[in-house]
């Protein structure tokens, strides 16, 4: 059994948005250390790894570890009903997952069915990345919008002093370069240059929940999966996306 409280219900909604951007169903692992989730998307080309430590919650009481399988799309819709200054309480009651919104003079309670979800991804891909790029979140979102004007795929090229984005389609080509330690790129750590191409729709979905005015980390190796990391408050969100290979 467990009972978990968050002072700002909308904050948890933002966290779940980062998961729902990739998968419709998933299992939260409720442990003493915090809440985690790791899963592949249905296509098998991407993965999300989410962790929120117990210190991030106003109340965190866990008698024993639990695995809570949910329809995350429905859960996200319910969280969207949260109102300003409402607290959120989550607990287990029999075979139901209970979600309560608590306002100053009100309380709403939802009981959601727990479902069987196929086994989570066992481990993250092991990649020795050649380049790590720290980029401003709002800037990367704008860059991907630029690429989306021309293509369904985008290439990332990371070098010691620059980060280059490439997109090509029937309507034209884009080459956008940003220098290290400048307005868009906060830092590049590169042992050698790296280049890979990725599905643009997946990238946009992955970064959609990243807060404004924050930083994302892109870890890149030539023709290997990219790793994208960012934080939502105290929560850690990581994604892996396999490279796009032309036939």
pLDDT at 94: 87
- Which residue in 109, 163, 114, 155 sits closest to 135, CA to CA? 163
CATH number at residue 177: 3.10.150.10
Residues 94 and 154 reside in one and the same domain: no
Q: Is residue 106 part of a domain?
A: yes
Q: What's this model's pTM, rounded to 2 decimal places?
A: 0.94
Asked which of 84, 113, 142 is the last residue of a domain, the reply is: 113
Q: Is residue 122 part of a domain?
A: no
Q: Using alpha carbons, list the distances in angstroms from residue 219 to 83, 133, 185, 193.
A: 37, 6, 13, 12
Domain count, the chain: 2
What strand order describes the sheet that includes 153-158? Answer: 172-179, 162-169, 153-158, 194-199
Q: Is residue 126 part of a domain?
A: no
- Which residue in 241, 182, 188 sits closest to 217, CA to CA? 188
Residues 185 and 98 reside in one and the same domain: no
Residues 136 and 92 reside in one and the same domain: no
Residues 77 and 142 reside in one and the same domain: no
Q: Is residue 121 part of a domain?
A: no
Q: Which domain holds residue 139?
A: 131-241
pLDDT at 120: 66
pLDDT at 183: 87
pLDDT digits (tens, 9 = 90+) for 159-195: 999 999 999 999 999 999 999 987 899 999 999 999 9
Positions in the chain short of pLDDT 50: none
Residues 83 and 144 reside in one and the same domain: no
Residues 140 and 230 reside in one and the same domain: yes
Residues 109 and 136 reside in one and the same domain: no
pLDDT at 31: 98
pLDDT at 118: 78
Residues 25 and 81 reside in one and the same domain: yes
Biggest CA pair distance of the chain? 60
Q: Is residue 246 part of a domain?
A: no
CA distance 135 to 141: 10
């Amino acid at each position: 059994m467990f009972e978990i409280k968050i002072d700002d219900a909308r904050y948890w909604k933002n966290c779940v948005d980062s998961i729902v951007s990739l998968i419709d169903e998933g299992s939260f692992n409720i442990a003493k250390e915090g809440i985690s989730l790791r899963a592949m998307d249905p296509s098998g080309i991407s993965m999300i790894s989410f962790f929120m430590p117990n210190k991030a919650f106003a109340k965190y009481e866990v008698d024993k570890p639990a695995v809570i399988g949910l329809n995350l799309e429905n859960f996200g819709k319910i969280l969207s009903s949260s109102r300003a200054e409402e607290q959120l309480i989550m607990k287990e009651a029999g075979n139901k997952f209970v979600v309560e919104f608590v306002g100053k003079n009100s309380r709403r309670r939802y009981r959601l069915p727990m479902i069987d979800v196929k086994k989570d991804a066992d481990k993250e891909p092991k990649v020795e990345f050649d380049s790590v790029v720290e980029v401003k979140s709002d800037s990367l979102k704008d860059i991907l919008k630029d690429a989306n004007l021309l293509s369904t795929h985008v290439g990332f090229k990371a070098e010691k002093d620059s980060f280059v984005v490439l997109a090509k389609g029937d309507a034209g080509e884009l080459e956008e370069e940003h220098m290290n330690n400048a307005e868009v790129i906060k830092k590049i750590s590169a042992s050698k240059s790296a280049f890979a191409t990725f599905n643009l729709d997946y990238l946009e979905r992955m970064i959609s929940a990243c807060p404004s005015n924050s930083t994302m980390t892109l870890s890149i190796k030539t023709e290997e999966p990219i790793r994208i990391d960012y934080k939502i408050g105290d929560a850690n969100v990581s994604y892996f996306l396999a490279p796009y290979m032309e036939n």
